[in-house]
Structure formats: structure tokens, C-alpha cells
Amino acid sequence: MTALADIEAAARRLQGIALQTPLVQSAALDERQGGTLLLKPECLQRTGSFKIRGAYNCLRRLPADVAARGVVAWSSGNHAQGVAAAGKLLGIRTTIVMPEDAPATKLGNTRRLGGEVITYDRYTGDREAIARAIAAEHGRALVPSFDHPDIIAGQGTVGLEIVQQATALGLQPDLAVIPCGGGGLTSGVALALRASWPDIEIIVAEPEGYDDTRRSLMTGKRATVAADTPSICDALLTTAPGELTFAIMRQHVAAGVVVSETDVRRAMRLAFRELKLVVEPGGAAALAAVVAGHVETAGRTTVVVLSGGNVDAEQFAAVQLEPA
């Protein structure tokens, strides 16, 4: 299982590659919630999400002979950009299987970064099976989007930064709320946070219809949901947590909450109007859980991870023009 030492080693590899995103505060949001919010905007990260952290850490650790053959990944779009960017930096050929209805900005950016994109129908196709077949045919390494020790360790560097930044502010958070798909970000951040703050409560936020981690935490066993519910939170549409990620989350995550599309849109508007940040739907899930009252923040210090900002301009503009 991934350990704190692995996350610290990943942080050293990522020096000069991943940005150290700030820990942002807002007096208006604090007043609204009745507590102190510490927002971690990974929407400002290289490639627009936290995914470059895990992708680069994973590709950087490949043996030279394996890297020379290239890698294959599957992704709704943010991992795709992270893998393509890491491959460009390291001179590794990248092929990524992506949904044909992925946001145009994610498809375009992946190609611009040098990734070869192969599309599929997210409701009828199996992206992992397609990727595995390509990898087997060409002898390439697989780079999973979340269930891999090096991916988890790389994403955990978000947690290391939170610890350092909150400590510098003289604050010790009571709670952390994290958007959750397959659990790579949540598991890595949970390991880092609880290593310094053993009593911190960690909550995951998931969109309606894709609360597989919430259900898994309730039963103690990995649950699977159907992949037939349309959602604007394209970054979080996994149907089950990973084996490795859930083993960590079962130990360190208290519970999960579900956010509606209305909750998410409200959070996107709030992030833009109060923080001047562009946050994509999935990236706004944790903030949505907080502002909708699904998580109690009054009188507490709460970390909120804004995990990505890769949203098509038309969709973002439409959300901003909706009534408050």
C-alpha cells in the first residue's frame, strides 16, 4: 500500500513540474458557512487539474525500455491531459482512450499536448478493455487513471501542500472535503493529511448516480453503480472505486455525500463570483457539498479541494447566466 514516504518521493520528482497551487481563503465564504474554508484550487494546476501529478510520477518511474515503447491510458479527459503532458516532457509516446462526448477542451488539449486520442461511446464501450487491447498489441505500458501506487502517490502531493500551507497559516483543519471519482486523489490526499492530523475528518463528494464510493464506505465492500445516468460531472463518472484506492479510503475516509447538478452549478457560480476561479463541474463537487449544506462547516476549519477547471466555454457561460 502507498505510504507517506512514497508521496514525499513523488513530491521531489514533481519539483519544477507541478505547480504548488495556493490555499485560498474568502471572507465572504467564511461568513456564509460560519467557519473557516481553505480552498485548494487545482484548477490552476498545469493542464488544469491535479492529474499531472500522478501521471508524471508514474511515467517518470517507468524503466527506460518500457518507456521507449510508449504508454496507453484511459480517461474522461483530465488524466488524458496529464498523461499527454507528462509524455511530452519525458519524450514518451502516449495513447489515450477517451469518451467521444468528452468536453471539446479536454479532447483538444490532449491532442495539442501530443497525445494520440482514440474515442469510444461511454455508455456502450469499455474504455479499460480498449486500452488493454491496444497495450497488449503494441507492447506498451498501461497508465491507469487512479488505481496505481504511483498515481496515488503523485496525487497525494496535493495533501502534502495542504499540510504545509495550513501549518504556515497557523491552522489545523477539522475536515477535508474532496471530489471523488475512482479515488486516486482522495486516497493520496487522505494519507498525507492523516499522517499530520490523525483526527481530521475526510468526506468525499460524488455526483448523483455515481456515489459508488459512498456506498462502498457504508458497507465496507467495493460497490458498483450503473453507468447509465447522464451527468455534467464528466470527470467523476466512475462506476466503482479502485481496489487500491478503496483499501486506503476504507481506513481514512469517514463518509461520502451526494451532490445534485443544481448544487454543482451553484458552486461553479460561487467560485467564479467570489473567488474569480473557473472550476469545472466535477472539480466543484466538494464546494457544492459544502455550500449545499451536505457537510457541516459551522465553527470548523474545512479544506475544500477544487480538483479541476477544464470546462467548455459554452457550458461555463451557460451556468454563469443561470439565476443565482
Do 125 and 213 reside in the same domain of the chain?
no
Which residue reads 455525500 in cell numbers?
A: 257
**Residue 257 and residue 243: Cα distance in Å, rounded?**
20
Average pLDDT over residues 130-142: 95
Q: Which of 125, 147, 169 is the last residue of a domain?
A: 147
Do 125 and 251 reside in the same domain of the chain?
no
Note the pLDDT of residue 212.
Answer: 98
**Residue 298 and residue 215: Cα distance in Å, rounded?**
26
Question: Per-residue confidence at 124, pLDDT binned at 50, 70, 90?
Answer: confident
Do 73 and 180 reside in the same domain of the chain?
no
Is it the case that residue 323 has pLDDT exceeding 90? no
CA atoms within 13 A on the CB side of 50: 33
Identify whether the C-beta of residue 255 lies closer than 8 Å to the C-beta of residue 9. Answer: no
CA angle 245-132-10, nearest 5°?
Answer: 40
Q: What are 220-243's pLDDT values in tens digits? A: 999 999 988 899 999 999 999 999
Do 143 and 269 reside in the same domain of the chain?
no
Average pLDDT over residues 64-70: 97
State how many domains the chain has.
2
CATH of the domain at 253: 3.40.50.1100
Do 178 and 118 reside in the same domain of the chain?
no
Average pLDDT over residues 80-87: 98
Do 125 and 165 reside in the same domain of the chain?
no
Q: What percent of the chain lies above the pLDDT cut of 70?
A: 100
Average pLDDT over residues 3-30: 98
* Prediction pTM value: 0.96
Note the pLDDT of residue 227.
Answer: 86
Is it the case that residue 324 has pLDDT exceeding 80? no
Note the pLDDT of residue 68.
Answer: 97
What's the grid cell of residue 120?
469510444
* Domain coverage including residue 128: 51-147
Q: What are 258-309's pLDDT values in tens digits? A: 999 999 999 999 999 999 999 999 999 999 999 999 999 999 999 999 999 9
Average pLDDT over residues 160-165: 98
Is it the case that residue 184 has pLDDT exceeding 80? yes
Do 181 and 243 reside in the same domain of the chain?
yes
Do 34 and 72 reside in the same domain of the chain?
no
- Listed in order, strand segments (DSSP E) in the chain are 36-41, 71-74, 94-99, 116-120, 141-143, 175-179, 201-207, 255-259, 301-306
Mean pLDDT of the chain: 97
Do 245 and 265 reside in the same domain of the chain?
yes
Q: What percent of the chain lies above the pLDDT cut of 90?
A: 96
Q: Which of 96, 125, 147 is the last residue of a domain?
A: 147
Question: Per-residue confidence at 1, pLDDT binned at 50, 70, 90?
Answer: confident
Q: Which of 124, 147, 170 is the last residue of a domain?
A: 147
Question: Per-residue confidence at 120, pLDDT binned at 50, 70, 90?
Answer: very high
Do 120 and 176 reside in the same domain of the chain?
no
What's the grid cell of residue 18?
507541478
Do 208 and 183 reside in the same domain of the chain?
yes
Do 298 and 213 reside in the same domain of the chain?
yes
